[in-house]
A and B are shown apart, each in its own frame.
Chain A
């Protein structure tokens, strides 16, 4: 007589686990990631020497003055960049949003020509946001020279494409009754937008823009790694020169800026709740944009900007290099990039799960505060910055990329996981405990099933992000396509660079398709289970 199996779903669980392992094993040689190396005596010594140099943080007046100016430049470049992105994104959204189409609102027939134009604009937006902002920055640094102008242009283009898409989608998600009535009465695109959609969509549009501003500041801070000015440029130099004291000062200032921005963005969301508040916010935003441009202008005048040389530079990329050796190199780079992202995400999933338990308050308040602090630190430092630090720990190459992605993503996922744990219904776990199950069993069979699907969905989403991130980490020496791109641009092998950028775009597009498919599968499975 067989007893009841303890876990009826054991076999499929083991199979899934085995599949995951089978996928993980080849990523180890591909990325050269060796967890033991982290604890290697020589590595620990290098790292300890560098970290010991963190104290005391550099505080001489000349350096601090430089840091202050760089900090303001970083903020100003982010603000001016976002303003430019809005100038790019708003008209694109206005032109392409389906919510403003007469044929979508009334029974009118669509105009072929207009639809073709919109498809073209949507293609432009895909291109703008498909190329990561740091790659745009690198290109502009090479084309228009160093300084904050490349950072502003890079943010303007990459975020412009993003804002255009999201603004259009926000308009599309609004209730359409009013817009329909206006359109039926003969109102044009502008009127439908102004009277039918904008009043209800405005808070969401503003709130998304504020969120993007926060992202822009983090992005602007790391753009210095490719020579685009601001705090990142100082960090890059200090890390290269292994000056720990300067690095710790800069990291502190960077974290202060991030925390400050989060405060400002919370405040602006509160302001948005009242009409006067909204007006104050609008005024402040315009003032901030103008002040930013005023701060950056002297340096721009110095750098100069001529469209002719930009065009000339652009033409040199054509035609992209398609030689078989390069394609093989790109294939290897892409594989390295994928392996880096996959391994990094899996490690982050494990790290996040481990940190989410204390961070959700399961082991008392003080442990919770501590865990949250750690998560914020992990999340607050951008992956590119982690990568340039990780290069110290595990040497140059994709292993540093794995570590960087694992650290940053642990922070991001950990916070989300902790939230799902806090929001999950406690009854099943409590019931198991009452029935005499151990703590671990009760957690695994009571709580975990409640949050598992959500966790997987988050991890999948971050994994997709991480592939995009992994493609550019090489710019600071962490392997993959980014490293090849950086070299090609340094050596003026522009057709090679063009092929590499195309490969990044293709990878990103393939990924979007794959993740959409996977998500549909997951949703279908969840629907089936319910």
Chain B
């Protein structure tokens, strides 16, 4: 028994020593609100830009679980993450984190309600007794805020809908509604616009039935004990992104941002109280 304990302790030690012996790398991740391949595609040029600006290696760590990104950031396994409003609130409850920047669009973010076109649904009210999909349970725009606004309208999802499901990601919600697996759903407005522009939504299958009021969403957050100078450099690099520079415009477009603006924790107080009211935060 003892020998095994020692062996396990030894192995753990070896792993942690190996891990710490690496060169300076900025480890970046993002909540998996879209398919993993899409996340990588979106990050590649931004990562290259940051490498150049910061003069250090930038590595994207793909993660397929919202909560795991929160845990990774608050236990210092990654340095920076793209978080939603709700995951940011969760992270700040669980450790010291600093929000640096957000897209201009994130200060007035919305969610879109959609329905299967063949189900004869024209408004939220028509979804009574139908099946409905949120995105991930940890998503701000795919779950928390729509739930909060639904409740404000007197709709309690668990009793109003026949069935409440969690698709896991915004693009998955569209796929579910299009296939008829669920009759209605809600997702991030930015992803919806992107899918529509790219022609990935078949209007014969999916239609828009509503939009939520605006709220604060996504930001880029670093762990609290990250070198302060590096934090400043990162912020500067994001704020410097210029839509008139074609190369940087490409980065902004992939991030679905017109430009990046500074942000602060206080911006997300509204999300925190909405989460408490919706019963998602205790």
Interface residues of A (CB under 8 A from B): 42, 45-46, 49-50, 87-88, 91, 95, 141-143, 145-146, 226-227, 233, 236-237, 240-242, 300-307, 309, 313, 391-392, 395-397, 477, 486-487, 489-493
Q: How far is the CA of A491 from the CA of B35 in the complex (A)?
A: 21
Chain A: minimal CB distance from B221 (Å)? 16
Q: Is the interface of A mostly helix, strand, loop or mixed?
A: helix
Does B155 belong to the interface (CB within 8 Å)? no
CB contact between A141 and one of B16, B65, B77, B179 (< 8 Å): that residue: B65
Partner of A49, one of B1, B19, B179: B179
Which of B94, B137, B175, B179 interacts with A487 by CB under 8 Å? B137
Closest A residue to B8 using CB positions: A87
Asked if residues A302 and B137 are in contact (CB atoms below 8 Å), the reply is no
Contacts of A307 in B (CB 8 A): 12
- Which residues of B are found within 8 Å of A233, using beta-carbon distances? 64
Q: A91-B1, A490-B138, A492-B94 are in contact. Are A241 and B67 (CB under 8 A)?
A: no
Residue of A nearest to B180 (CB): A46
Give B248 Cβ to nearest chain A Cβ, in Å: 28
Check A392–B181 contact: CB distance below 8 A. Answer: yes
Q: CB distance A241 to B175 under 8 Å?
A: yes
The 7 closest A-B pairs by CB, nearest first: A396-B165, A227-B65, A309-B75, A490-B137, A240-B172, A304-B19, A46-B180
| A-B contacts besides A302-B19, A395-B163, 10 pairs, CB < 8 Å | A46-B181, A49-B179, A146-B65, A237-B64, A241-B172, A301-B18, A306-B16, A486-B137, A490-B137, A492-B67
> Is B222 close to A, CB under 8 A?
no
User: Across the interface, do A142 and B67 meet the contact criterion of CB distance under 8 Å?
Assistant: yes
Binary contact readout B85-121 vs A (1 if CB under 8 angstroms, 0 otherwise): 0000010011000000000000000000000000000
B16 touches A492 (CB 8 A): no
Interface residues of B (CB under 8 A from A): 1, 4, 7, 12, 15-16, 18-19, 35-36, 61, 63-68, 70-72, 75, 77, 90, 93-94, 131, 136-138, 163, 165-169, 171-172, 175-176, 179-182, 280-282
A198 to B246, CA, bound (A): 73
Contacts of A227 in B (CB 8 A): 63-65, 68
Q: How far is the CB of B224 from chain A (nearest CB, A)?
A: 15
* Chain B residue contacts of A303, Cβ below 8 A: 77
How many Å from the CB of A63 to the closest CB on chain B? 10
Closest to A321 in B: B282
B131 closest partner in A (C-beta)? A395
B179 touches A50 (CB 8 A): yes
Known contacts A141-B68, A241-B171, A241-B175: A306-B180 contact under CB 8 Å: no
Known: A392-B181, A491-B138, A491-B280. A302 touches B168 (CB 8 A): no
User: Does the CB pair B71–A145 fall under 8 Å?
Assistant: yes
A31 smallest CB distance to B (angstroms) = 13
Distance in angstroms between the alpha carbons of A519 and B122 in the assembled complex: 56
Task: Contact check, A146 vs B68: say whether CB atoms are below 8 A apart.
Answer: yes
Asked if B176 and A242 sit within 8 Å, CB to CB, the answer is yes
Q: Are A305 and B12 in contact (CB under 8 A)?
A: yes
Q: State which of B15, B72, B168 has its C-beta within 8 Å of the C-beta of A240.
A: B168
Q: Residues of A contacting B282 with CB < 8 Å?
A: 493
Point out the residues of chain A lying under 8 angstroms from B181, CB to CB: 46, 242, 391-392, 395
Instruction: Specify which chain B residues have a CB less than 8 angstroms from the CB of A91 in the assembled complex.
Output: 1, 4
Known: A146-B63, A146-B68. A395 touches B168 (CB 8 A): no
Measured in the bound complex, the distance between the Cα atoms of B4 and A146 in whole Å is 25
Q: Do A87 and B71 have beta carbons less than 8 Å apart?
A: no
Residues of B within 8 A of A491 (CB): 67, 90, 137-138, 280-281
- Residues in A with CB closer than 8 Å to B12 are 305, 307
| Set of chain A residues within 8 Å of B68, measured between Cβ atoms | 141-142, 145-146, 227
A302 to B62 Cα, complex, angstroms? 11
Whether A490 contacts B136 in the complex (CB less than 8 A), given A46-B181, A302-B61, A392-B181, comes out as yes
A264 to B4, CA, bound (A): 29
In the complex, the answer to whether A492 meets B75 with C-beta atoms within 8 Å is no
Is A477's CB under 8 angstroms from B1's CB? no
Q: What are 29 sample pairs from A and B whose C-beta atoms fall under 8 A apart?
A: A91-B4, A95-B1, A141-B65, A142-B65, A142-B68, A142-B71, A143-B71, A145-B77, A146-B65, A226-B65, A237-B64, A240-B172, A241-B175, A304-B16, A305-B16, A305-B19, A306-B16, A391-B181, A392-B181, A395-B163, A395-B165, A397-B163, A487-B166, A489-B67, A490-B136, A490-B137, A492-B67, A492-B70, A492-B94
**Which residues does chain A contribute within 8 Å of B19, judged by CB atoms?**
301-302, 304-305
Assembly CA distance A307 to B18 (angstroms): 15
CB-based nearest B residue for A42: B180
Q: Which residues of chain A have C-beta atoms less than 8 A from B165's C-beta?
A: 395-396, 477
